[in-house]
């Protein structure tokens, strides 16, 4: 289930974002400080072109979905899971499939988008495979420098008519 994030979720969002497994596959790889996160939250929560959603599983916070650069027909997204908690419970894969299914449905059915975009690091082969399963297309890789390291970022996109829905393999 997805629900809108509130001020009460801000610390949990930072805690999940700072899990090592999430930092390893993110453009921002450093540990996010409380002040840095507070500034991000203040800006994000007031921005009408953004939506931050909390993914819950069995009543517990299990991830965060971040939509940004939203306009009438397109937007970008990213997400991260409670990697530590889900791994401990053996629920990572089902949660991963569920959050992608729910987030793409939200993008197209709730937000009414025609195009959903995002980015994935080139070395993140497992996420790239899951993205293909959900019919995201990869664009031309781009080299960037972030947090003192060189990374290759691959843009991804999914058009409404190409999305995977229930009953469509």
The beta strands (E) that lie in 19-91 are given as 51-57, 60-68, 74-81
Residue 102: pLDDT over 70: yes
Neighbours of 80 (CB within 10 A): 21
- Dihedral sign (CA 5, 129, 104, 95): negative
Q: How far apart (Å, rounded) are the C-alpha atoms in residues 17 and 10? A: 11
Q: What is the pTM of this model?
A: 0.92
pLDDT on residue 62: 97
Q: Provide the percentage of residues in the chain whose pLDDT is more than 70.
A: 97
pLDDT, one tens digit per residue, over 4-25 is 999 999 999 999 999 999 999 9
Structure confidence at residue 166 (pLDDT): 55
Residue 147 has a pLDDT of: 86
Closest C-alpha among 102, 65, 80 to residue 24: 80
């Amino acid at each position: 289930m997805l629900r809108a994030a509130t001020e009460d979720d801000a610390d949990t969002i930072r805690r999940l974002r700072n899990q090592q497994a999430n930092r390893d596959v993110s453009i921002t790889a450093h540990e996010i400080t409380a002040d840095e996160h507070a500034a991000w939250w203040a800006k994000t929560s007031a921005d009408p072109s953004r939506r931050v959603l909390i993914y819950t599983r069995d009543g517990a916070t299990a991830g965060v979905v971040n939509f940004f650069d939203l306009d009438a027909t397109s937007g970008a997204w990213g997400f991260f899971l409670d990697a530590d908690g889900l791994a401990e419970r053996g629920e990572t894969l089902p949660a991963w499939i569920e959050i992608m299914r729910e987030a793409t449905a939200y993008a197209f059915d709730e937000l009414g988008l025609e195009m959903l975009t995002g980015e994935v690091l080139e070395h993140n082969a497992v996420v790239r495979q899951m993205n293909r399963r959900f019919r995201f297309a990869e664009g031309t890789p781009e080299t960037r420098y972030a947090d003192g390291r060189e990374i290759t970022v691959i843009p991804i996109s999914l058009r409404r008519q190409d999305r995977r829905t229930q009953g469509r393999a």
